[in-house]
């Protein structure tokens, strides 16, 4: 079977996918999501963004596993598998943290209402 792309292009593909996952889901999602979660705002949007990061990461990981099963060279399957596993793992691991931040914000809101009468 012919490789999907060459070794040099694997650097572009893997680096591009890793940079995109890190920038979009890590940088933007983490920065904006962490701030909004601490304030208790935009819960659906933030949780949806984190879940989308997990889904995209799993899609990339599955693509890498399919390439591995098809007998593609290591540089092909690794270009998809590495950013996919990292993206899904990190975003999936942070999902309970974000949910806990929303629960803390809701508790603060209820405590403030109870004190205020």
CA–CA dist 50, 58 (Å, integer): 12
- pLDDT at 1 (0 to 100): 81
CA–CA dist 116, 110 (Å, integer): 10
Show the tokens assigned to 8. Answer: 């040099």
- 68 conformational bin, left if phi > 0, alpha if psi -120 to 50, beta if neither: alpha
Tens-digit pLDDT profile for residues 29-80:
889 998 999 999 999 999 999 999 999 999 999 999 999 999 999 999 999 9
CA–CA dist 47, 53 (Å, integer): 10
Tens-digit pLDDT profile for residues 2-13:
999 999 999 999
């Amino acid at each position: 079977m012919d490789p999907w792309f060459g070794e040099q292009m694997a650097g572009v593909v893997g680096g591009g996918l890793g940079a995109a996952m890190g920038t979009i889901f890590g940088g933007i999602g983490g920065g904006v999501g962490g701030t909004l979660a601490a304030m208790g705002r935009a819960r659906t949007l933030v949780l949806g963004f984190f879940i989308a990061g997990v889904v995209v990461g799993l899609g990339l990981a599955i693509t890498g596993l399919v390439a591995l099963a098809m007998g593609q060279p290591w540089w092909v399957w690794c270009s998809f598998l590495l950013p996919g596993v990292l993206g899904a793992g990190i975003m999936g691991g942070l999902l309970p943290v974000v949910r806990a931040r929303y629960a803390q914000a809701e508790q603060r809101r209820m405590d403030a209402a109870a004190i205020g009468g």
